[in-house]
Amino acid sequence: MAKRIRVLLAKLGLDSHTIGVTVIAKALRDAGMEVIYSGLKQTPEMVVRTAIQEDVDVVGLSSLSAAHMSHFSRVLELLRAEGASDKLVLGGGVIPERDAEKLRAMGVAAVFTMGATTTEIIEFIERWWTQREAQ
Amino acid sequence: MSERARDAAARLRAGDTAALARAIRWLEDGDALGARVLREVAGAPERAWRIGVTGPAGAGKSTLVDALITELRRRGQRVGVLAVDPSSPFSGGALLGDRLRMQRHTLDPGVFIRSMATRGRMGGLASATHGAAILVDAAGFDVVLIETVGVGQDELDVAELAHTTVVVSVPGLGDEVQALKAGLFEVADVHALNKADLPGADSAERNLRALLDLETQRREGEPRWAPPLVRTVAARGDGVPALLDACDAHRVHLAASGEGERRAATRAEQLFYALLREQAPQRLLARATDLDRTIAALRAGEIDAFAAAEAVLAGGGLPAL
């Protein structure tokens, strides 16, 4: 049995746009990953509980509202508190570059905004996975 | 490695859900640590009641599981859920969306929800689901709800794993009832007619009851259990307490009739064969000597596949050319 990359995709905050996350979910599945979609309006607490119960490798957070800074930092803080900071945290959505900069400084490994392709996301995850497995 | 497994088992027994989730991952990935953790916890008597929830796609299994969690929590039970979805046969990837319907339980510490992909296994469950159920039990959950993929007629593995199998059907699928006759009907300990507020629910119930009468006759001579039919509207929680009562009655029946012990013996035997099926190929290949040379000779046409396979099965390497 081969190992499979497990990814949690979560929508933080109050926005209810699902098309972007659905496209990404399908692309990751087609790249051979197991994708857990936990739905809309997730709180950082819910995201972290889910990430731990599902033992995912990657947490993809999407935010289309301006609340991303506080939500994302809370997720990172909770992951650290739970001893689960080995997970790759990615951000996506409508995020201005100056915010993206801050998020990366906080520990979000990459921020994919409008215009990013699914191929870029997949390659980023696969590169990280290969490096981690090699360790 | 055994120390890591012992440590993981100890943490898991103490109710550490991160340790539980990781051990399940090991089982899924075929990491030897998974089997070791299982061996650490094996031997402890089964405590948790395993309820399987199966039925065709679109019957509302996830919503029903969500409602069952709510009712079980109301009754003070701690609940573990294993929700299985299919892996793509093409990419090997999977979209696991069952827990979408169970979101409201995410922050409840008395609930553990784990999505599992089938990873090529047929039968409606993942290969690791049986082991995962044992681990969830060891972690102290009172009930394990096992939700299968949307099944047809021969994805019936859940009946081997669960103590009580709930088959979910819905009105309006017409021939669905016909499909239920084969296979699924025979493994049902309890029937849930879900979405019972839809038009056609009454006629669906009549059809099901007619089939149930036949089934009850067929089972004559066996310990008597007439699978009850419960109407539910899972989205509203209607009928769910009655459904759980029916599962409970089945549990009492299993204990009182001796059927539970008979099933446990069958389950142990089936698990034994399943483990062998899963692990034997890898172990055989690992043990084979000169495998590379055998394959090269095979590809070059120097030996045939039958001779090569026979040699490996017999525990040796390259057959004499």
Length of chain A: 135
CATH assignment of B45-257?
A: 3.40.50.300
Global pTM reads 0.91
Asked if B220 contacts B256 with a C-beta cutoff of 8 angstroms, the reply is no
Task: Read off the pLDDT of residues B27-48 as tens digits, 9 standing for 90 and up.
Answer: 999 888 998 999 999 878 889 9
Residue bearing the bigger pLDDT, B317 or B230? B230
Q: How far is A40 from chain B (nearest CA, A)?
A: 9
Q: Do A1 and B92 touch (CB under 8 A)?
A: no
Report the b/e string of B66-96 with b at 16+ CB within 10 A.
Answer: bbbbbbbbeeebbbbbbbbbbbeeeebbbbb
> For chain B, which residues lie within 8 Å of any Cβ of chain A, measuring from their own Cβ?
17-18, 21-22, 24-25, 28-30, 87-88, 90-97, 99-100, 103, 106-107, 112-115, 117, 119, 127
Whole-number pLDDT of residue A44: 94
Task: Tell me the average pLDDT of chain B.
Answer: 89
> Helix B17-29 and helix A44-53: axis angle, to 10°?
50
Asked if B46 contacts B150 with a C-beta cutoff of 8 angstroms, the reply is no
Q: How far is B185 from chain A (nearest CA, A)?
A: 31
Whole-number pLDDT of residue B118: 94
Whole-number pLDDT of residue A1: 55
CA dihedral B170, B171, B172, B178 (to 10 degrees): 80
A22 touches chain B (CB under 8 A): no
Query: Which residues have CB under 8 Å from A21's CB, separation 6+?
Result: A9, A11, A37, A62
Task: Tell me the average pLDDT of chain A.
Answer: 90
Asked if B192 contacts B168 with a C-beta cutoff of 8 angstroms, the reply is yes
Asked if B118 contacts B84 with a C-beta cutoff of 8 angstroms, the reply is yes
Ranges of each domain in chain B: 1-42, 45-257
How far is residue B266's CA from residue B184's CA, in Å, rounded to a whole number? 19
Low-confidence ranges of chain A (pLDDT < 70): 1, 15-16
CATH fold of A20-134 reads Rossmann fold (3.40.50)
Helix (H) or strand (E) holding A11: strand A6-11
Best mutation target, B24, B105, B106, to test chain A (most A CBs within 10 A): B106
The DSSP result for A60-77, as a single string, is: EEEE-STTHHHHHHHHHH
Q: Which of B232, B261, B85 is nearest to B163 (CA)?
A: B261
ipTM score for this prediction: 0.94
